[in-house]
Amino acid sequence: MKVFITGGKGLVGSFLSYTFRDRGDELYAPSRKELDIIDRDRIVKAIKLVKPDILIHCAAFTDVDGCEINKEKAYLTNVVGTQYVVEGCAEIKCKMVYLSTDFIFDGKKQTPYSEADIPNPLSVYGQTKLLGEYYVSHLHQKFIIARVSRIFGEKGRNFASSLPELMKKEKKIVLTDNLINSPTYVVDLVEAIIFLIKRDFLGIVNVCNKGECSWYEYGLKIKEIMNIEDVELIPVAFEKFSNRKAERPRYSVLDTSLLESLGFSMPQWEASLKSYLEMQ
């Protein structure tokens, strides 16, 4: 199988690349410097030249507060860039996988969101990712939109990789206790994506680990797994963090019933977090 991955050097893109190479698939996974998705001529030409069987669109501006500060970059990358990628896929009729987010919801439902729930993003990041979904679903026929949340893993800046280091330096750490969603281990996410591709699934599907937690509860679990005793974690409401530019949904847990009905069950987030931390 010939695979094209945008954002091939990021957290998800890197592990996808490693996995497909290990499987013996033919892979093209350029970094943003090698191929910027907001350059329409280059991205469309590259997709037509490679002629992949599957394109996985990981490239995105994912800094939630950064999107609020630099709206133009957010729209260019997450909306316009996605439109160009979709155009290339539509021309050669290859299947496309688009990674979306739980931030397309406003968090007011207070129960896990299904694929059928109506989005209402609170932030520029959520708005731009939802518009990206719109282009994928309206300009192409062969697509998978995978909605994910709070991805963690070996590469990139994420809570599971940064908090253990912070615990070595600080004796007191303040964490929010009223932003609830589901962590997603990149290893589990990639396995789910490959499963969906093999199964020829088309449409929108939620992909995240089972269970839910706040950032504070997540931190407590890291502290427990790593057996760290001399650090105090202090729970604080998100509203107390005045340096945050973007609004967040207070409850954006994703319901993975559809994924499970297809035959793939994600592990509990605690088990996956333990697996990740024990490898570090």
Query: Which pLDDT score is estimated for 236?
Result: 92
Closest CA to 7 of 26, 37, 31: 31
Confidence of residue 105 (pLDDT cuts 50, 70, 90): very high
- CATH architecture of the domain 2-157+183-209 equals 3-Layer(aba) Sandwich (3.40)
| Global pTM value | 0.95
The lowest-confidence range among 114-123, 192-201, 229-238, 247-256 is 229-238
Question: pLDDT tens digit string along 113-171?
Answer: 999 999 999 999 999 999 999 999 999 999 999 999 999 998 666 777 788 888 888 88
- In sequence order, which residues have a C-beta less than 8 Å from that of residue 4 and are 6 or more positions away? 28, 29, 46, 47, 50, 52, 54, 55, 56, 94
Instruction: Give the number of other CB atoms < 10 A from CB of residue 40.
Output: 15
- Domain ranges (residues) in the chain: 2-157+183-209
Could you read off the pLDDT of 42-92 as tens digits, one per residue?
999 999 999 999 999 999 999 999 999 999 999 999 999 999 999 999 999
Tokens of 1: 């199988």
- Give the pLDDT of residue 251: 97
